[in-house]
Structure formats: C-alpha cells, structure tokens
Amino acid sequence: MEPIILSNAVINHKISILRNKATRPGLFRSIVKEIGMIETYEALKTFQGKQIQVETPLETCTGLTLEDEEICFVSILRAGLAMGDGAREMLPCASEGFIAMARDEATFLSHLSYAKLPTHLENKKVILLDPMLATGGSSGDAVKLLKEKGANVIAFCCIIAAPEGVKRFTQENPEVVLYIGALDRCLNEKAYILPGLGDAGDRIYGTLD
C-alpha cells in the first residue's frame, strides 16, 4: 500500500518549526502533540463508528459514536508519547498501549525493552505513533508485536520519514496504512534522517548533550 503523505500548509508550517534547531523543548513538544492530533484525525477519517440515537433539545436524531473498545493508540517510547498526547485529546475514550524500543547505535537494530498493550487488539483499530521513520526497524518490530497480540487493523502515523525506511516498512507490512507528515531525502551514515529534525526524543524532553 502506498504511503499517504499529509502535505498541506498547516502541517508544513508546523514541521518547519520542528526542523529549526533553535526551537525550544516546550514548543517542540507542543507541536509534536498538535501533529499527533492532526494525523490521528486523518487516520480515523474513514472509520465509520456506530449509529446511536441522540436526544437534541428539539428532537431525536441519528448520530455516530466512536467507543473506547474500537480504537487503540500505541505510542513507541519515548518520542511517541507526545504524539499520543495529541491523539488522546482527539479521542479521549480510546484505549492506549506503549512499546519501548532501544536502538543499538552500532548496528542500528532495535530491541524491545518494554510493552504494555490492551487486551483484545483483534477487535480494535490500532494507530501506532512515532515521530520518526528512519530505518524502519523499530516501527516494523512494533507492528510485528502488535500482530502477535492479535491486531489486524493497523495504521502508522509518523511526522518525518526517510525513503529507505518507507521502502522497508511498506514491503514488510503492505496491509498497514502509513501516514507521513514529510518524506525527507535520505539517511546519513548514522541512520539519522536528512534534513530531518535531529533526535525527536531528546528535543521533546530536553535531554540533548
């Protein structure tokens, strides 16, 4: 499945703020949260929900509702937490899960260090959240874990992606809908995205050296 690149004036404006090395952690975190909200909206646009009867002040009408058992947000730690904050504001009733991946800086391979996921993922639409799609290792491993836990409807929302990571991710997970804020040029020798925005987790939480 071809990735969906969410290129518009609002997202491009916000990504430009994230790219700026002078952007402070508080603003950076806020912008990541806002993009998380926008991308969650996009990922849920085609989701139908359930019909309900609503009593307005004037009459009864038919409405739609998204119930907590239908949607699950899963943040890849650490950086995905900020996107998860935005997703939660968009839909507070959804359940949430968390996956922590540690990257080996020598091999660029990811290793699962923590996972806490809701039960019955087979009955939910799962939206995976992580600002960066670089090599595709962490996100691919996260999707593999979600499938092992029963998930069969998955979307992945990221802010910045490298072509190398997109190619690998879509080849390994053709059924997962991939939403991208910006598709960048390439990876460097350390597997960082260029032009990118640096290490999203460090910039969110102010842990830069």
The HSE-up count of residue 19 (CA atoms within 13 Å, CB side) is 15
In the residue annotation, 199 being an active-site residue is answered as yes
> What would you report as the CA-atom Rg of the chain, rounded to the nearest whole angstrom?
17
Find the catalytic residue in 78, 141, 170, 199: 199
The residue assigned the tokens 């991208």 is 180
Find the catalytic residue in 19, 78, 103, 168: 103
Q: Is 58 left (phi over 0), alpha (psi -120 to 50) or beta?
A: alpha
User: Integer distance in angstroms from the first to the last C-alpha of the chain?
Assistant: 39
SS3 letters for 176-208? CEEEEEEECCEECCCCCEECCCCCHHHHHHCCC
In the residue annotation, 107 being an active-site residue is answered as yes
In the residue annotation, 203 being an active-site residue is answered as no
In the residue annotation, 29 being an active-site residue is answered as no
Find the catalytic residue in 24, 65, 104, 107: 107
Catalytic residue ranges: 103, 107, 199, 202
